[in-house]
Amino acid sequence: MPTWFDESRLDDESVLAGTDLRLRTLAESGARVRREAGDAAAATDEAVARAAELARPRAVIAAGPDSRLLRAVLEPLCPVPFVAWPGPALPGWAGTLDLVVVLAPDGSDPGTASAVAEAVRRGCQVVVACPPTSMVAEHAAGRWSTILPTTTRDQLATAVVMLTYLDRVQLGPETRAEQVAQALDDVAIACSPHRDLAVNDAKMTAIALADANPVVWGGSVLAARAARRIAESIRRTSGRTALAGDAEQLLPVLEAARPLDVFDDPFADGPRELRPMLLVLDDGAEEPVVREQRGRLQAAAAERRVRVETISTDAPSEVARYASLLLSGTYAAEYLRLGLVDDRGTTET
């Protein structure tokens, strides 16, 4: 059924009350990071002390389907060879000289449990962030294994626990849980449902998304990861097309857009064409290749009169900037869900 976007719903207290659980879950993101970091502090200290007694690993293997986030953070910076292995096994060369790290926020994935059991069998150093009574934790039991206990089932909070450990053993970038939590709190305040849309960037982004098929781009490795996650959220909340990718993948979409006709009547009867909209995630990366790609995308958008919106952050660390961009985009996706209604006046999703 045709849909339309009612922006008045974004400031309607009665409507906002109906989606309180989703928005509250987003607002509690910082609290989950603090909780997981606090609960895992003693186990992290133990793992760091154990690592000090051992030689630096030959390689770091991030196993399991949640390894992609660790890859985005670690690949450019890890001082030893790093590989993400999302399948239910390990590379054939993995052994006693290697460190296997695993994120298992839920702890119930059989493939992840299989990979952990394989790592233990081969005598690898194993560090797993997961619920302590989960299936993955049971398979992680071993002489050279450490479990960093988590409880919230939040992927980002679980990743921060692991990245804190890797930072302390000098295998990853600086990661301070409080910095990440504060960045998330700042987004929650700025994007609060009780903050008027005139001063709420997430609500304004949702309005921009309302009549568009977004093309989401982030220049750095972590911003690109956030772009993919935000595109997933937009598809889930609206049922519409949302693309994320590098500049070479997105440029053809912008260049193929029909030039905007200034004489088009936005109030004409019939369904309106959903045009592309370029959503840029800016985490402050200013490498020459990032500037060049951003310039090409913005030039293509200007030529076709495609709208450009930017989500930016000035958080103090790479992981905090990733968290800030991701949460800002997820808020915008939820406000898009809230504002979309069908011809009967009910929410679309």
3-state SS, one letter per residue, for 30-87? HHHHHHHHHHCHHHHHHHHHHHHCCCCCCCEEEECCCHHHHHHHHCCCCCCCEEEECC
Q: Is residue 116 part of a domain?
A: yes
330 with 208, same domain: the answer is yes
**Which tens digit of pLDDT belongs to each residue from 189-228?**
999 999 999 999 999 999 999 989 999 999 999 999 999 9
Distance CA 309, CA 204 (A): 10
* Alpha-carbon gap, residue 88 to 94, rounded angstroms: 14
Q: What is the CA radius of gyration of the chain?
A: 22
Same domain? For 72 and 114 the reply is: yes
Would the pLDDT of 268 be above 70? no
The parent domain of residue 319 ranges over 3-29+180-262+271-342
> Into how many domains does the chain fold?
2
Q: Please report the DSSP string for 104-150 in residue order.
A: -SSS--HHHHHHHHHHHHTT-EEEEEE-TTSHHHHHT-STTEEEEE-
Domain membership flag for residue 168:
no
Band of the pLDDT at 345, cuts 50, 70, 90? low
Provide the pLDDT for residue 120.
96
The pLDDT confidence band at residue 89, using thresholds 50, 70 and 90, is: confident
At 1 the pLDDT is 46
Is residue 70's pLDDT more than 80?
yes
Q: Angle 29-39/41-52 helices, nearest 10 degrees?
A: 50
Is residue 263 predicted with pLDDT exceeding 70?
no
Specify whether 143 is located in the same domain as 226.
no
Residue 198: how many other CB atoms lie within 10 Å: 8
